[in-house]
Each structure stands twice: as C-alpha cells, then as structure tokens.
Structure 1
C-alpha cells in the first residue's frame, strides 16, 4: 500500500476539512497492516487508483497510465521547452520506462485485497474492492501482457509469483465481476453500509453493479476480434447475457472525488501535474507536452468546437489565432516564445478543469461508443438503428464532459444524459457541431461506410478517440491496438519494425527483473503483441 487513507467522517472528505492530515499524500508507505477497517481503507484505495490512472502521484518519478498512453496514441508530443522524452520519441523502451505503473498498481491492488479479506461484516466494501481489482489488473494486462495474477497478492507466502496467460486472466475477470455483482446483491440484507468513504458513488451499490457491467463490455470487446473461434463463441455468449443484465450500464461518467481542493496535496492530480500548483504558480510540467498536429487536425478540419475548450491559441508565422501543435519526434517543436508558441492545455478548459475537478475512471462516452460498436457488429441486438442512437449520445456525452463545470459527485451521478437541456454546458456546442457536419460521415452516422476498413466500426472508434483525448488515453491506445483505428501517426524518430512504426506494449520492469526473473516470460519486447492485438 502506498497510502493508508483513513476516513472516519464524511467531513474528512470535503474541502472544509482543513485540519485533516495530507489526505492526498500518496507517498506514505505504511506496509505494516494496522487495524484499519474497510471503511477506513476504501477512499484511500479509490483515490490511489485515480492517481495511477490519471497522472501518477504528485511527486512520482513517472506519471500515470494516461500520460504514457497520450504519447503512444498520438495525442501528445514533446514541446520545445525541454529536452528528454527519448523513449516517447523513439519507442526505444527500457525496463525502467514507466516501471512505476507496475509497482504502484500492485500496491493499490494490495489495498483492495485487504478490503476483500474483511468481507465478513463489510460485504459491500468487499464487492467494490472485487470490482476495482479487476479494473486495476486489466490495466496491467493490457500494457504488460502476461502478469502474476492467480498467485499474486499473497505477501510473504508468494514472493516470486508465477506469470499467468493474459487470455486466461481475461476470462477470470468476467468470473470476478459476476461474483462481485452477486456479492452486492447478497449484501443487501446485512453488513456495514457504504457511505462517504465511497468517493465514486457514495454507497449506491446499483451504480457499482452498472459500472461492473460496463467494465465487462470493455473487457469483452477487447478480446472480440482475435479470430479464435472458441474465444469468439465465448465472447458472443457473454455479451448476449450482458445486454440484458438486470441493473444495466452506467448512465454517467464514473469519477473519483475525495474532496479535491486548492491546497497542498489535495488538488486534482492531473491539474497539479500539468496545470497549476496550489499556490497558483505554473506546474513544473505545464509546458512540457503539447497536442500533436494529428489530434488538432481532427478537431479543426471537422469544425469541432471542442478544440477551443481543450487548447489555447498558439502563435505561428505572425498569427496569434491559430492552433499550433507538433509531430512527435519533430526536431524543433513549438515552444513558448513570443514568435512561436504552442497551443498548450487551456487553463480552466476541458482538460485542466481546475484543482477541485474529479478524476474520471470511465467516461460515459466510452461506454456509449462501446455499446454502439457491439450493436453495429451484431454482438448486441439492435443493429445500426440502436448503434446510431448510442453513437450520437456518445458524442453528446463527450461535449458534456469537456464543458462540465460542476465538481460535485451528487450532480454528476444524478444527472443522466437524457436529462440534459439546451442550458446544460456543452449542449449548445454539441448542437453546433452536429449542424456543421450534416454531410460528414465522421459525424453523421447515417453516412458512415458500411464496408471498407472495419466499416461503421471505424467511425465509432474515431469519435471515441476524440472523446478520450488525454482523459482516457489508455482506452484509446488499447482500441488502436485492437482495431488499428484511427490511423494515428508514429513518431518521426521511431525505431519500430512494425508497418505502423508504433510499439505495442511496455516492458516488464527492472524491479521485477531483479526479484522475479525466473518467472518473467522470455523473448518479450515492446513490439510483442498482447493476445487480443491481431488487427493491423
């Protein structure tokens, strides 16, 4: 465990709790278990997951999953302000490149494991922990491939756990999520309830079951195009059952909100790393990365208002009302000078929302696009009619997310997309976007091709890619490896031998090489595919 975040009262989770002890400090390491209960551990574990997924800890030597994936998925390039970023520019990965993702995620998994071990008396907490273990293990499998799973998290009883096949782990994910839902249903009749320590859904177990179902959809789609007949049959069977799941799917963005505030060690982690410090000064890494020309062009060339919500204008060739990006690997990328200034993240915009903004774990837009894909591929019933509705709603959900100003879990969790009005932030811009693109097959689903490179699926993945920009880059990167869509650009300095000149995974970390070398799979490079990565 990286932290032991005790939550005794709901007040300790609000910005009014000015006396609480560094409640977002993820650098304490009390590995000696105490008598902490699941109620005292849950907020800590969920907040740590948010750190790891979003940007790493405030003082971590390496940022989080989305920071890594933002470079890999062609959202970010290096600015001209600093040197470095050698691995991102060349894909010449080492076993120290983002190795903290491995250790920090396993530390976080130990937190959830401790909660699950105390299921007696805390059945709902244990069910949440079981769901979040799948969420975190999925991150590890998708970026590293085969990992310690069935014999992991056993402490001194198994200090050198064996590695399990990624495909086998994937199947157990569904078993665990089914079990978590069953646990939550059984818990309805007793045990300690979940309250403010649940910094995602505030104890609403129906929403946790919906999240588990949406997580299943993410997992099953990931392994849906391998061409393995037996696996295809399994996936179709599971999806047929999933579509009619009693509790349905998420209806809002799934976010973590422990009470982020403009105070040291209490700010939103992404904002702290790439926006402003608690004192209001520029974060160290604020100017280190800039948007790629590829992602800027997708917005600008399609009259997409989101570009102005995500990035500030840059300066180039005497013009100050232009968006200025880079191609990853470019020798002289735009910096922050008076005559050549890049379009850095917009302060107060859709990415740098503010110090008190919640951290997403799953976007509603991602789920809706996933559902549309399942429908258009006949993995769900409904066909293109249902897919068209979910596709349009996915775009709308993206606009609502990027333009949302509310930071309240109550507001976010209680306002479904169907309840939005013309006054909802983002809806006016969404309507403008749709009206400007009636003849654009990338926006108007009715015009999307039914054949060609993946047909309508390619358009769904394209819009999903725009919605996940920098917020859920991990999912966009995984979707690219699964579908080869959209046709992102590799770094100009790539050493990759692949046709697309991109990598496919991270290397097993040095920490694992030093302690568990005998079990690490052999002949793995950053160009070795994950089992579900078969479409090029």
Structure 2
C-alpha cells in the first residue's frame, strides 16, 4: 500500500515558484494538502508495515518457515543478515514517518488541526519503537528535517526510548487539556480509522504504548528513569480492547494487508506465503500437548489442526509441502474466525491480550497499575481466545464462548505452570508463563513483538544448540556463533550507509544487541 502523499511530493510542490499555464487546477498543491487528507492513509500504511514486521519476525520465532521443495531462502536459513536484508523495515517506516511529520508540522502552523497532530505524534512514537527494536540507534533528534539535514546523527537507542516516553506524557497532557475545545477540528471515522475520533481512547492507547516501552526497558541502563516513569502514568487507564485499523478495506479493491499476504489477492490468486509456508514443529508443542494442550486455539489458528503440515527452519530434506491457506480456517467463499478473518476485517496493531500481559509483567516487578499479575495473566489468555473467536466484523461469532474455552484450557493444563499461574513459584517461572502465553497470543499477528520479547527475556524457552525440532526454533543451517544459534539484530540498509556518514559501523547480525537485550 503506497502513501497517497509522501514528503517527496510535498517538497516537489513547494519548489514550484511560477504558475505553469498547463498546470491542472484540480491537482493537489501544497495549499490543498491538509492533515485530514493524509492521516487515514498514513495510518493504513502503518498497518501494512506491521504486516511486514510480523513477517520478518515470524521466521525468527518459529511462527512460519518455507515448506519442502522451495528454493531461494538460503540467507533465511543461515541468518546471513546483510545491509541488503529486510531493507523495507527501515525505508518504509521512515517514509511513513515523513507523512506523520508533515501532519505534525502542519498542525503547529494551523492549530485547528491540533488533534490530527497529536495522533500523528502518537504514531510517530509507535513507529520509532519499531525502528529501535529492530535496529538500535536511529536518527531521532535530527531526523525528518528534509533538505535541512540529509545526514542526521544517530541517537543512542536507550535515549530514544526515554524521549518516546516523555513525548507520550506530553501528548496525553495536550489532548486532555484541549479535548473539549470546539476551536479544534474533530476527527471522524473517515479521518481516524482506529477510534473514529474518540480522544479518550487515544489517551488510553498512548498509555498502552508507554507501558510497552517501560516494560521492555525495565532493568536496563535506563532503569532509574523507567522506575520513575512507572509512577507517572495518566489516571485515564489503559485500552483493553484490540486496537484495529480499518480504513475501509474492501473485498474487491484494497483489502486487509494480512489477508493479502497470507491468503490471496482480491482476484483470488493464492499468495506466496499461503502456498509455501508452514508452521514450525516447535510452535506446535504449545498446542498439541507436548508442552501445552490447546485444541481450541489450534483449530482456530491452523487449517487441518492437529494434522497441519509442520517443519523446522532450514531442514530442506524433511520439511513437508505446505497445506494451502494454512492460517485460514474458513471456507474460501466466506469470512472466518481465527487469524485470517476476511478481506474486509480490521487489522490488529495492538492486541488486548498483549496489554494484559504487559500489565501482568509490570505487576510482577512491583508496578500494579491495573490489577495483579495473576489477574492480568488470566485476562490475557481470555483476550486471546476472544479475538480468535470473533469474525470479520469484530463481533463474537455465534456459538463461541471464550470464557468457557479459556476455563477448559486451564483445566486441561491444570498441572502446568505455563497455564496455571498459581503453580509458578519463582519470579523466573512467572515471567516465563507470562511471556510464553504472550508468544501464543501473538502467533501470526505480531511476530516481531514475539521476537523482541524472546531476545529480551529468553522466553519461550529453547534448548541452545539443539537440532531437535521440538526444542528450538533456530535454523538447522544457522551460521550464528551464539549459543542459541540465533541472530539478535538487523543491519542498517546499504542505501542509508551510502547517504549518511553517521550510520553506525556494524559487521553482522550476531553482535551489538539492542540496549534492552540483556538476556
């Protein structure tokens, strides 16, 4: 999905100083490009980028891998990460950030667009965390200035995290101060494809983002800042609904990008991922009883569960061919439950289950912001069942009772501390339970977040160096010198290296961890 208005277009328009007699009077000009024309598409682009981030993370944590007889994945198997690997993760997010910065700058000059600017600021934070978690140090204080600075400095990743937390506090305070003021343009479903102008929800969502930042940064070099920031949350609380982007996805035009990537085009052509990818044997142990029994979510997530084709990353000899549409559990002519609900379904960018598990971890380490660790742990599991049991309209499907299913899940695994939190007797076991359940809840929605959490905590557990498929999601062809045989970061794109002398010098993806990767 392309941005309808990029900064490049804006700059080109502003460079025109004389009127061309052949100029189209109906074409967009700098004077007619306003935030209400940009914000919806910018948010839709963020949603599309999330699918790209998920896809790269999904290979790294066992959510997906190429099935048998498929070539061209050598670097994926060996983790040969170079400056030409995953370049869209960097380029597409910075392109998206330019749109948000345009809105922010416009709102500063035209205060009537204040709330548009505030939402753009929230998504600027959202996107910068994506970048830091993938790359570490990034341009922040000198970034997004266009021709004024084509070679911005790279700011320390921990310092950027602090700045993002501080920015969220400022945004929340700004919205709360002015949200009842009629002098500012209101938002609607047309201009706000997330909350349809509900500013209270934007405040709560900002709290969610702050929570994610602080939980991830706890115990790091900025821990004193983190501990102080935990005591300064807005009293408005957290958003405990699934946060969906829905700009009006259509079955015959621009469809849900997750569905497009893992199912088919609007014309019905099967996608590469739907045709070739399978889940890992390691992942299946959290469904088929080897680690956890979870038949209900197994059937809601995988076609033909428990007989879905599964494999191991890099095992080109034994991996089976893919079952077509492996993450689609409906009929081809109708909407479904589970992961891929339909072409017109809203796309989740922050699941309620993740919010609950973040609150559980915060409480585990002494910050009981909204309920105990155990209570939020239980709510996180329930929220995971609930979202999977909803249909394409985000309504609970007929006959589905998530509370009963979550209760049965706990009964089936009553002796397992990964499900029965009361049996976790140490802080390490409790954290393992929380992150393992988050790993399951994020399955095939946000692979990058599962990858971030594994690097940060070491959970879900793997057996370092093992080549047994049920003990690790690491590739059997891994070139990593690390004990876990995994990479730990992305490298900066070659285009950035060529244009900016300030790019940090890195040699591989196995060293120079992100600041919160202290595992």
User: For the superposition of Structure 1 and Structure 2, which TM-score range results when normalised by the shorter chain?
Assistant: 0.7 to 0.9
Which of these residues, 214, 231, 252, is aligned with residue 263 of structure 1?
Answer: 252
Q: Report matched runs for 1:183-332 at 5 Å.
A: 183-188=174-179, 189=181, 190-196=183-189, 197-226=191-220, 228=221, 231-242=222-233, 245-264=234-253, 266-301=254-289, 302-304=292-294, 305-313=296-304, 322-332=307-317
Gaps of 5+ in 1: 6-25, 55-63, 315-320, 412-419
Which of these residues, 393, 400, 410, is aligned with residue 407 of structure 1?
Answer: 393
- C-alpha deviation, 1:423, in angstroms: 5.5
SS of structure 2 residue aligned to 1:147: coil
SS of structure 1 residue aligned to 2:187: coil
Q: Report matched runs for 1:478-497 at 5 Å.
A: 478-488=452-462, 489=472, 490-497=474-481
The whole-number CA distance in structure 1 between the counterparts of 2:258 and 2:276 is 14
- C-alpha deviation, 1:421, in angstroms: 11
Residues 478, 486 of structure 2: 8 Å contact kept: yes
The whole-number CA distance in structure 1 between the counterparts of 2:397 and 2:243 is 21
SS of structure 1 residue aligned to 2:485: coil
Q: Report matched runs for 1:53-452 at 5 Å.
A: 53-54=50-51, 64-119=52-107, 120-188=111-179, 189=181, 190-196=183-189, 197-226=191-220, 228=221, 231-242=222-233, 245-264=234-253, 266-301=254-289, 302-304=292-294, 305-313=296-304, 322-336=307-321, 344-347=326-329, 348-380=336-368, 386-407=372-393, 426-451=402-427
SS of structure 1 residue aligned to 2:286: helix
**Runs (4+) of structure 1 moved beyond 4 Å?**
28-31, 420-425
The whole-number CA distance in structure 1 between the counterparts of 2:406 and 2:104 is 42
Residues 79, 486 of structure 2: 8 Å contact kept: yes
- C-alpha deviation, 1:220, in angstroms: 0.7
Question: What's 2:466 paired with?
Answer: none
Using a 3 Å threshold, how does the CA distance of structure 1 residues 81 and 308 change in structure 2: closer, same or farther? Answer: farther
Cα shift readout 1:134-179 (whole Å, capped 9, x = no counterpart): 0001100110111111100000001111111101111100111111
The whole-number CA distance in structure 1 between the counterparts of 2:398 and 2:367 is 34
The normalised TM-score by structure 1 is: 0.84
The normalised TM-score by structure 2 is: 0.87
Question: What's 1:12 paired with?
Answer: none
- C-alpha deviation, 1:524, in angstroms: 4.7
The whole-number CA distance in structure 2 between the counterparts of 1:297 and 1:343 is 21
Q: Report matched runs for 1:11-22 at 5 Å.
A: none
SS of structure 2 residue aligned to 1:287: helix
Residues 50, 349 of structure 2: 8 Å contact kept: yes
- C-alpha deviation, 1:81, in angstroms: 4.8
The whole-number CA distance in structure 2 between the counterparts of 1:281 and 1:106 is 30
Residues 195, 201 of structure 2: 8 Å contact kept: yes
SS of structure 2 residue aligned to 1:163: coil
SS of structure 2 residue aligned to 1:360: strand
After TM superposition, the structure 1 stretch with the greater mean CA deviation from structure 2, 283-292 or 200-209, is: 283-292
SS of structure 2 residue aligned to 1:495: coil
Residues 64, 277 of structure 2: 8 Å contact kept: yes
Gaps of 5+ in 2: 14-29, 330-335, 463-471
Cα shift readout 1:497-522 (whole Å, capped 9, x = no counterpart): 11111111100001102211x21112
RMSD of aligned residue pairs (Cα, Å): 2.3
After TM superposition, the structure 1 stretch with the greater mean CA deviation from structure 2, 324-333 or 172-181, is: 324-333
